[in-house]
Structure 1
Amino acid sequence: MSQAIKETHFSFPGQQGFYKGKVRDVYIFEKELVVVASDRISAFDVVLPRPIPFKGQVLNQIASKFLAATSDIVPNWVSATPDPNVTIGKRCEPFKVEMVIRGYMSGHAAREYKTGKRLLCGVPMPEGMKENDAFPTPIITPTTKAMDGAHDEDISKEDILAKGIVTPEDYAVLEKYTRALFQRGQEMAQEMGLILVDTKYEFGKFGDEIYLIDEIHTPDSSRYFYADGYEENQAQGLPQKQLSKEFVRQWLIANGFQGKEGQTVPEMSDEIVESISDRYIELFEKITGEKFQKAATDQLESRIEQAVLSYLS
């Protein structure tokens, strides 16, 4: 099996700090961030025990493509991608909310709907909807931005403004950008025979300007359906064929794990790890329309370190 990056421990000249996220290792400089997309995988806000070969490369390269393709809508943080697993860019001050936008009644929204809830983050959901039906208009359902492994929490726009988490002026810009990015993402997905179902965006400020940060439109941050067969599946009450991380969540649920207290992550065999890796590569090729080129993994950490050092020098 190919090597995979579980974590990195570099020390770069000029580095001021380090932050380990669920799947990214972030090296902090005065005005820049060096972000290494590891092969860690998380579900239900829990990092699973085994890394997935090529997952980090998949996410980093999908994000790079979509950030470039949306830079006319909103400026983004990226300055360079010196390695398939690395993105370097502006050190923005992140807003403490994630802008989740949903075009369809799926995932978390569907699970809440089934319990009888008709409000999600203060946004009404119409009566009479079936799982995976399209909302009349995409809905924005923000979450708090959790730190240090805590769970993200649903929050309403009203609470965000009342608590002063984001100013009304900035929030209006975040909403505008979120809707415009989602529309572009849906148009690009349609060209690939896909439906962009839901996704999340993160924003930050560099000086007084708002920038799009982190990744966008990747299978870790987004859910995709195949357009072919969507209408027939809905009419017959069948599950939709998905391109997202949902297949990992479903495997965990089937093995008795949903991230709840007292539950244990099921053992991940080599076969499971390899099948997840294959699915991520399939996601890359289907979402981008490009053939995935596996980067060399025999000297993985050395390759990444040299690429970053070369950029910094």
Structure 2
Amino acid sequence: MNNTITRTNFNFPGQISVYKGKVRDVYALKDDRLLMIATDRLSAFDVVMPKGIPYKGQILNQIATKMMEATKDIVPNWLEATPDPNVAVGKKCEPFKVEMVIRGYLSGHAAREYKAGKRELCGVKMPEGMKENDRFPNPIITPATKAEQGDHDEDISREDILKRGIVSEDDYKVLEDYTRKLFERGRQIAKERGLILVDTKYEFGKTEDGKIVLIDEIHTPDSSRFFYMKGYEERQENNEPQKQLSKEFVRQWLIENGFQGKEGQQLPEMSDEYIESVSERYIELYEKITGEKFEKADVSNIEKRIEDNVLKYLG
């Protein structure tokens, strides 16, 4: 369990600043490049768990890299290189302060809101008579404001985003267009793997020359939910839970153990056995989503491996 990376403290040549997110640590370099390290931290309900998950950072980074490669013909992205299994390097961007969440099915947060009697999410109407995990007639975009560290991301409507000037109308149209195109491509890729891309979120930034690009991660189990296609219809007909590939299994475990990130709630203890099982699930996710066998990187000294690879790349 010690062979995880949960915090970083590097000092790379030309380094200007460091930003530490829930899962990724972002190092800004002098030449308008960002170096992003995917750690093994696990976040759920906007809370970072006390223990890391072996290989999680590598899995997220490598899935995101493959998916950016598979979508760059339809949407430009920030990525330039991956010098280490946990590291991505790319163009510095000014991130938009919204996450573009798109949902093809009534699942997760949307299902919880629906169960609570709500029929509108982020200003978008949801049809009556749906049950959990039913497919929406058309995918819906339900944005969230990007939280500062420690705060919860909050649902927000398109109207409020424009009214509050968070994103200009012209830029927002591009974000919506890119979101729909990426989701459609993601669904096609998932279908080839016998999966359904249920919902996901995309984040975008603007480069210095005003170009809007995809940033952060894409189609990973942390940002997306996948169902197995086989047996989906039967499970819906029989009111059975869907077999899914996402971080939702961790959220469900936390809910069962009395934790949803609300004030006064105690984080349940994660045993080594449980952490091992989460790591195995992430590896299964990787193999299903990419259709490739997962190759474990050397984790005997992750910090040194990362430093050596990055220094070699920076030359």
Q: Deviations over 1:224-267 (max 9, x none)?
A: 00000100000011000010000000110111100000011100
- Separation (CA, whole Å) in 2 of partners of 1:153 and 1:26: 23
1:249 match: secondary structure: helix
Q: Deviations over 1:209-237 (max 9, x none)?
A: 00000000000000000000100000011
| C-alpha contact 1:23 1:38 (8 A) present in aligned 2 | yes
Partner of 2:69: 68
Partner of 1:213: 215
- Separation (CA, whole Å) in 2 of partners of 1:262 and 1:299: 37
Which of 251, 258, 277 matches 1:256? 258
Displacement after TM superposition at 1:197 (Å): 0.1
Which of 228, 231, 236 matches 2:230? 228
Gaps of 5+ in 1: none
- Separation (CA, whole Å) in 2 of partners of 1:242 and 1:187: 17
Partner of 2:298: 296
Which of 274, 277, 293 matches 1:275? 277
TM-score, structure 2 normalization:
0.98
2:268 match: secondary structure: coil
Q: Deviations over 1:71-106 (max 9, x none)?
A: 001110001000000000001000010000000000
Partner of 1:51: 52
Runs of 4+ off more than 2 Å:
none
Partner of 1:97: 98
Displacement after TM superposition at 1:2 (Å): 6.1
- Separation (CA, whole Å) in 1 of partners of 2:229 and 2:79: 31
One-letter amino acid of the counterpart of residue 3, structure 2: Q
* Aligned pairs for 1:43-192 within 5 A: 43-192=44-193
Percent identical pairs in the alignment equals 71
Partner of 2:9: 9
One-letter amino acid of the counterpart of residue 187, structure 1: Q
1:26 match: secondary structure: strand
- Separation (CA, whole Å) in 2 of partners of 1:201 and 1:240: 23
| C-alpha contact 1:193 1:226 (8 A) present in aligned 2 | yes
- Separation (CA, whole Å) in 1 of partners of 2:214 and 2:201: 11
Please say if 1:27 is aligned against 2:27: yes
Q: Deviations over 1:169-215 (max 9, x none)?
A: 01001000000000000000000000000000000000210000000
2:37 match: secondary structure: strand
2:15 match: secondary structure: coil
- Separation (CA, whole Å) in 2 of partners of 1:310 and 1:94: 28
One-letter amino acid of the counterpart of residue 118, structure 1: R
2:262 match: secondary structure: coil
1:101 match: secondary structure: strand
2:154 match: secondary structure: coil
1:16 match: secondary structure: strand
How large is the RMSD of aligned CA atoms in angstroms? 0.7
One-letter amino acid of the counterpart of residue 109, structure 2: H
- Separation (CA, whole Å) in 2 of partners of 1:109 and 1:187: 23
- Separation (CA, whole Å) in 2 of partners of 1:28 and 1:208: 19
Partner of 1:243: 245
- Separation (CA, whole Å) in 1 of partners of 2:290 and 2:18: 31
One-letter amino acid of the counterpart of residue 220, structure 2: T
1:159 match: secondary structure: helix
2:138 match: secondary structure: strand
- Separation (CA, whole Å) in 2 of partners of 1:208 and 1:256: 46
One-letter amino acid of the counterpart of residue 168, structure 1: E
**Residue correspondences, number:** 313
| C-alpha contact 1:2 1:297 (8 A) present in aligned 2 | no
- Separation (CA, whole Å) in 2 of partners of 1:2 and 1:233: 39
Q: Deviations over 1:12-57 (max 9, x none)?
A: 1111100110001111123011100000000000000100000000
Displacement after TM superposition at 1:310 (Å): 1.2
- Separation (CA, whole Å) in 2 of partners of 1:35 and 1:215: 11
- Separation (CA, whole Å) in 2 of partners of 1:254 and 1:114: 17
